[in-house]
Chains A and B, each alone.
Chain A
Amino acid sequence: MNGVATPAPRRLASFALASVPGSERAAIAQVADSVADLNLPPGRLDKLKTAVAEATTNAIEHGNDSRPDLAVDIEVFFSGDEIVITVTDRGGRQAAGRLGARAGGDGDDELPDLARKLSGDQGPRGWGLFLIRHMVDDMEVTTSGERRTVRLTMRTPGAAAPSALVRTHSGGVSDG
Chain B
Amino acid sequence: MDNAVTTLAVRKAGGLTSVVDITGDITAASEPALMSAYEEAERQHAKRLVLNFTGLEYMNSGGIGMLVTLLVRANRQGQPLSAYGLTAHYREIFELTRLDEAITIYDDERSALAG
Does B88 reach chain A (CB closer than 8 Å)?
yes
Judged by DSSP, the binding face of A is helix
Q: Is the CB of B96 within 8 A of A43?
A: no
Given the interface pairs A24-B60, A26-B1, the reply to whether A134 lies near B65 with Cβ below 8 Å is no
Q: Is the CB of A47 within 8 A of B3?
A: no
Contact with B along A44-59 (1 / 0, CB 8 A): 0011001001100100
Q: CA of A81 to CA of B97 in the docked complex: distance in angstroms?
A: 29
Q: CA of A57 to CA of B108 in the docked complex: distance in angstroms?
A: 32
Taking a contact as CB atoms closer than 8 A, the residue among A26, A106, A118, A130 that contacts B68 in the complex is A118
Q: Is the CB of A43 within 8 A of B71?
A: no
Q: Report the minimal beta-carbon distance from B103 to chain A, rounded to whole angstroms.
A: 10
* A14-22, A91-99, A147-155: which lies at the interface: A14-22
Most chain A CB neighbours (cut-off 10 Å) among B28, B64, B98, B101:
B64
Binding site for B on A (CB under 8 A): 18, 20-26, 43, 46-47, 50, 53-54, 57, 106, 112, 114-115, 117-118, 120, 123-128, 130-131, 134
